[in-house]
């Protein structure tokens, strides 16, 4: 049986290695630094609203959700955070992750994110709601979602899970996104750029995190 295991990345934050797919959940050069660069600095900070709906593809370790919570608290932003994950990580692994300590956050918030009930909206505090959906993205009914202002596309890479990076999925997401919304992702693979453009997005290539050449922002005007 292939079991996930914790690794320490270049910025001292933890990530997890999926031995079945032979891929890390984050850059081995820095889990926190990569997530901040791709999803906060080139994602959340660009949305100029007081209240937003975020859709995350791939809950994984919960790092993106935790960073979004931190940003929301610091900026008094109201967040409705929806995340889709087919294979939640085991609790005993999550309990060992060092994100809350490195970010100087209460570890109870991180624990609550992972312990909260799946397929149900949970109020983490007065300004941050979390709705974790345990399902297969390919067969997900996007009609149940509200209009989305920001998408974190953080599935495993197109070379490992090509079925999660298709024009069909991008089109379904595009239809649920609000006007002047943004999709941000670490991947700049050709298949991703072509699929996003074919779905209707305006695609912008940006510098990647931690020495990676590029990442993508995709806009719905």
* CATH number of the domain where residue 210 is located: 3.40.50.150
- Residue 1 — pLDDT band, cuts 50, 70, 90? very low
Q: What are phi and psi of 164, to 5 degrees?
A: -100, 5
Picking from 72, 87, 39, the residue whose alpha carbon sits closest to that of residue 186 is 39
Asked if pLDDT for residue 46 goes beyond 70, the answer is yes
Torsion, CA 34, CA 215, CA 177, CA 88, rounded to 10: -40
Query: Residue 10 burial (CB < 10 Å; 0-12/13-18/19+)?
Result: middle
Residue 20 lies in a domain: no
Picking from 138, 152, 150, the residue whose alpha carbon sits closest to that of residue 63 is 152
Whose structure tokens read 């809350």? Answer: 100
Where would I find the H helices in the chain? 31-35, 63-75, 91-94, 99-102, 107-115, 167-176, 190-199
Tell me what pLDDT residue 131 has: 98
What is the number of structural domains in the chain?
Answer: 1
Query: Residue 35 burial (CB < 10 Å; 0-12/13-18/19+)?
Result: buried
Q: What is the span of the domain harbouring residue 72? A: 32-220
Contacts by residues 66-70 (CB-CB < 8 Å, ≥ 24 positions apart): 66/99, 66/100, 66/103, 66/105, 66/109, 66/110, 66/113, 67/32, 67/35, 67/36, 67/39, 67/40, 67/103, 68/39, 68/40, 68/44, 69/105, 69/109, 69/113, 69/124, 69/128, 70/103, 70/105
- Residue 210 — pLDDT band, cuts 50, 70, 90? confident
How many C-beta neighbours within 10 Å does residue 112 have? 14
Residue 23 lies in a domain: no
For residues 145-173, average pLDDT:
98
Residue 97 lies in a domain: yes
Whose structure tokens read 């209240």? Answer: 51
Tell me what pLDDT residue 192 has: 98
Residue 70 lies in a domain: yes
Residue 1 lies in a domain: no
* Ranges 3-7, 110-114, 143-147: which has the least confidence: 3-7
Torsion, CA 104, CA 105, CA 108, CA 112, rounded to 10: -140
Residue 198 lies in a domain: yes
Asked if pLDDT for residue 165 goes beyond 80, the answer is yes
Q: Is the pTM of this model over 0.85?
A: yes
């Amino acid at each position: 049986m292939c079991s996930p295991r914790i690794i320490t990345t270049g910025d001292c934050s933890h990530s997890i290695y999926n031995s079945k797919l032979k891929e890390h959940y984050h850059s081995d050069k820095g889990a926190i630094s990569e997530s901040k660069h791709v999803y906060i600095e080139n994602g959340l900070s660009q949305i100029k609203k007081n209240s937003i709906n975020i859709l995350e593809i791939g809950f994984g370790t919960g790092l993106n959700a935790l960073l979004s919570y931190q940003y929301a608290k610091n900026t008094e932003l109201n967040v409705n955070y929806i995340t889709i994950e087919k294979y939640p990580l085991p609790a005993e692994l999550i309990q060992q992750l060092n994100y809350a300590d490195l970010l100087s956050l209460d570890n109870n918030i991180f624990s609550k994110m992972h312990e909260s009930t799946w397929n149900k909206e949970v109020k983490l505090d007065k300004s941050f709601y979390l709705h974790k959906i345990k399902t297969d993205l390919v067969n997900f009914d996007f009609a149940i979602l509200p209009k989305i202002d920001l998408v974190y596309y953080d599935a495993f890479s197109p070379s490992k899970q090509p079925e999660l990076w298709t024009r069909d999925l991008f089109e379904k997401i595009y239809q649920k996104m609000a006007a002047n919304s943004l999709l941000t992702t670490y991947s700049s693979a050709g298949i991703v750029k072509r699929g996003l453009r074919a779905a209707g997005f305006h695609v912008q290539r940006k510098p990647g995190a931690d020495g990676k050449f590029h990442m993508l922002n995709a806009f719905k005007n």
